[in-house]
Structure 1
Amino acid sequence: MSTVNYSEKIPNNVNLGEDRTLQRALEGWQPNFVNWWDDVGPDGSTAYEVYLRTAVSVDPQGWAQFGHVKMRDYRWGIFLNPGDANREIHFGDHKGEKAWQDVPGEHRANLRRIIVTQGDTEPASVEQQRHLGLTAPSMYDLRNLYQINVEEGRHLWAMVYLLHKHFGRDGREEAEALLQRQSGDANNPRILGAFNEKTPDWLAFFMFTYFTDRDGKFQLSALAESAFDPLARTTKFMLTEEAHHMFVGESGVSRVLQRTAQVMNELKTDDPQKVRAAGAIDLGTIQRYLNFHYSVTIDLFGADQSSNAAIFYSSGLKGRYEEGKRTDDHVLKGQTYKVLEVVNGQLVEKDVPMLNALNEVLRDDFIKDSVAGVQRWNKVLEKAGIPTRLTVPHKAFNRQIGALAGIKMSPDGRVVNEQEWAAKKNEWLPTPDDFAFVASLMGRVVDPGKFAGWIAPPVMGINRQPVDFEYVRFG
């Protein structure tokens, strides 16, 4: 069934009412989720009515409806893309066999780990972004933040459903733990490093939604190939929702650049201090934020050589991005891939078995996709007649994971010594001064149609509404 049943306590299109035990377990988890939302969800938003889209179907032609809703009453639910009874596994050692509807015993631990890791990122980003509503640059942006927050909550539900349905008591315990870990908590942090970083301001938020939600796109796309059919079907629908998150990041940075370029042209200067004094974010600061968020995000793909990646692929748990469009044998034994390492202070490429390099394959796909968006940002500067261009740093820059971890590397790809790193680090990564300056701009602007001075308005509103529509009713 593709239509969502909203008459049930938990909206779903998985016939939840036919499995009373599962329904009771999820209805028992639901109040804990709402408590988590109240405790560490969007700060101060309880009484607001927000113009949100809600999934009503998994039909790509008309899957969502828009309307004002209190976020705490948002109908989080469980939605899977329609199944195909004849679906076959199309990569790895089980290629050609029927896709699994249940978890094979030998893959149970690995599948659970994959689902828990994905599930852990969803509430983490809500926690990281919880204070941003207090400094929103416009009502339009505030609504976009809240849309992302409720959808990350929905994606948590997607993973919790799989844990409850397919992993028994272990799954129920893991679902509880997803609400107990907290982003940045010294004693019980989130699983992945990037999800314990602070998101202190809206420039960081736009970079996070551009880069880190794009990591989500690539991870979900790889899981949408899975031989475990319920995981493939739920991640396919998550991707439909994820597209908006990346749009918010890409358009947000574009609008910051547009405003900065406007100020530079009005003042006829590229002096960062003069640009800052006029209340815009200088291009050097934007570049440093980009360098930081990009480097932290590419670490999320894991070590460049990984036996786990090989096992996940060969056993059919996780494919490659757009696996079906690739023209190799989809088994990859005997194939190689180039990865980087440092030998005698120089970066060198070496061939390694492709199965062990699948994290790097996914990282390189992500990099290609990210670079295309940065080029679109540069079009904004070009159109405004500004000669500066943003660049994506070298993939060995500021890495904390894998063979490149801890290597001192300039953004343009030179291995540098400790002295040069110490001397140039503040040109390459955001400084306390940068964070303090950006924080100083973060005053709340929420009158309909008004925008903070450091960001340009969008070209159009949401769902064909005008830009000055009342997207949030403060109640």
Structure 2
Amino acid sequence: MASINYDEKIPNNVDLAGDRRLQRALEGWQPKFLDWWGEMGPTLRTTSVYLRTAVSVGRDGWAHFDQVAVPDYRWGIFLADRDPDRVIGFGEHRGEPVWQQVPGEYRADLQRLIVVQGDTEPASVEQQKLLGLTAPSLYDLRNLFQVNVEEGRHLWAMVYLLHAYFGKEGREEAEGLLLRNSGSPDSPRILGAFNEQTADWLAFFMFTYFTDRDGKYQLGTLKESAFDPLSRTCEFMLKEEAHHMFVGTTGVDRVVERSAALVREHDTLDIAPCGGIPLDLIQRYINFHYTVSLDLFGSETSTNAANYFTAGLKGRWQEARRRDDHRLTDDGVHVQRPGADGTWSADELSALLALNLDLRDEYIADCETGIKRWNRILASAEIDVRFALPHPGFNRAVGLHSGHHITPDGTIVDEATWRAASHRWLPTSEDLAFVRSLMHPVTERGRIASWVAPPRNGVNGRPWDYEYVYLP
């Protein structure tokens, strides 16, 4: 079990003190990170927050809780323990020892994968910058800060890899991670979903359910990488990512629970005048955040993904559990393609070219679990409404479905039909304005906003109405 030395300027379990050149480089990057956090991090100022901090990477050490002043949070570099017997599990190098250094022929591709992953981490902090000003409870405010500081630490994880293994180019890319900003017209974040606004707490819950779940699957493929430092970094990040998805899952749970209670209380689905979020509006938020997150998986066919797999840079979700040759040179899959005539056709593709589709299908199956949870809440309230994930081709800007107008049930329609009906499927400006109108901050201990139910449990055995955040 690798312990973490919090006496050092940059807490780490990678023996940073043993590499003075690298230590100086990262200590030079640290003030720039803190400047970025001060400018682009949470707007709401706090005295202290009940936060989780890793003290070691083992089962019992990665979740230590205490009151922390957020600007003094000790971001650091934590890798999972090394397995000296680990071998490459897929691709043309399958069975060979994993790499502790970057092979020259894969340098550019590995650097690109790390930069794209690293770019998402500060982006979500920037997207959520203003949310603390409208937190529905101290419990939720604490969870927001926990997500934010861990996204900041995930940025540190990628920056460490860039500095440690990619020389001057890596250092320049690490600088760039702080220069791009979510939604900037001049220097936006690399991936589209990370330039969308997170303007309200329902959007935050949807983001942490759907978009952080995409992060789970992307990290899961990188955890399989033959480049062992990247694998170990992502393995530890996945522990923290689980909490982000928990915030989303239970957050939407609580919105649905409160809306269902208002429907029952007032005997109408039109609960907006009662200060609740209507169920059809929740469905439109699901439709938007789910489909924007699907775009993060890229095109259904990808030579880049095939090359990454063959080279051993990026595997499949839970690669070791797959019952095939882990090379895929002779395997095929079918993919549904929309046609200009409004019909669907099936194309057969090499499984290597369809790896993005494989990962997306794993993600979709996981997303369905949330839909089932939220429908059980409606069923227990005896409300005859059910949520559903829209067709994977709905509202897509990337891949085979982009450029086509596809309804939530998978019907291909013309542009006029789409425009006439899209207000029923996606949040309108009026929807967004209404949800924002509900976002009044509640920061008194034991109180919570009227549009969301309280959580069933608090954090780390504390009651939900514990004073998780101290405000000035």
TM-score of the two chains, using structure 1 as the length reference: 0.98
- Where 2:238 maps in the other structure, the secondary structure is helix
Task: Tell me whether 1:378 sits opposite 2:380 in the alignment.
Answer: no
Q: What is the aligned partner in structure 1 of residue 64 from structure 2?
A: 65
1:77 paired residue number:
76
Q: Is the 8 A contact 2:54 2:61 kept in 1?
A: no
Q: Which runs of 5+ in 1 are unaligned?
A: none
158-167 vs 379-388, which moves further: 379-388
**Distance in 1 of aligned mates of 2:418 and 2:465:** 46
Distance 2:15 2:415 in 1: 60
**In the alignment, which of 454, 468, 471 is matched to residue 471 of structure 1?**
468
What residue is the counterpart of 1:419 in the other structure?
A: 416
Cα offset, 1:179, TM superposition: 0.2
Equivalence for 2:323: 327
Match of 2:443 among 428, 442, 446: 446
**Deviation of 1:212 (Å):** 0.1
Matches within 5 A, 1:174-213: 174-213=173-212
Deviations 1:66-97 (A, max 9, x none): 01111110010100001112210010000011
Matched AA of 1:121: T
Q: Whole-Å Cα distance in 2 between the matches of residues 286 and 312 of structure 1?
A: 37
Q: CA deviation at 1:41?
A: 0.1
Contact map agreement 1:381 1:388 (CA 8 A) in 2: yes
Other-structure match for 1:349? 346
| Alignment correspondent of 2:215 | 216
Partner residue in 2 for 1:137:
136
Residues 414-453 of structure 1 show CA distances to partners (whole Å, capped at 9, x for unaligned) of: 1111221111100000000100100100000011111100
**Aligned residue in 1 for 2:52:** 53
Contact 1:303–1:402 (8 Å) recurs in 2: yes
CA contact (8 A) 2:301 2:356 kept: yes
1:448 aligned partner, one-letter code? R
* Aligned position for 1:114: 113
| Counterpart-to-counterpart distance in 1, 2:241 and 2:391 | 26
Larger mean Cα displacement after TM superposition, 56-65 or 217-226: 56-65
Aligned to 2:304: 308
CA RMSD of aligned residues (A): 0.8
Structure 2 CA distance for aligned equivalents of residues 226 and 337 of structure 1: 23
Q: Residue type of the partner of 1:443? A: H
Separation of aligned partners in 2, 1:112 and 1:459: 43
TM-superposition CA deviations, 1:99-144 (whole Å, max 9, x none): 0000000000000000000000000000000000001011100000
1:94 is aligned to 2:90: no
- Residue-pair matches, total: 471
Are 1:127 and 2:105 counterparts?
no
Give the secondary-structure state (helix, strand or coil) at the position aligned to 2:394. coil
Q: Give the secondary structure class of the aligned counterpart of 1:351.
A: strand
State the partner residue of 2:11: 11
C-alpha distance in 1 between matches for 2:346 and 2:163: 44
Q: Percent identity?
A: 58
Task: State the shift of 1:61 in Å.
Answer: 3.0
In structure 2, distance between residues paired with 1:355 and 1:108: 21
In the alignment, the residues of structure 2 paired with residue 363 and residue 349 of structure 1 have an alpha-carbon distance, to the nearest angstrom, of 18
Alpha-carbon deviation of 1:340? 2.1
Mapped partners of 1:380, 1:359: distance in 2: 33
Q: Which runs of at least 4 in structure 1 moved beyond 2 Å after TM superposition?
A: none
CA distance in 2, matches of 1:449, 1:350: 56
Q: Residue 27 of structure 2 aligns with which residue?
A: 27
The 2-side partners of 1:264 and 1:226 are apart by: 49
CA distance in 1, matches of 2:443, 2:465: 10
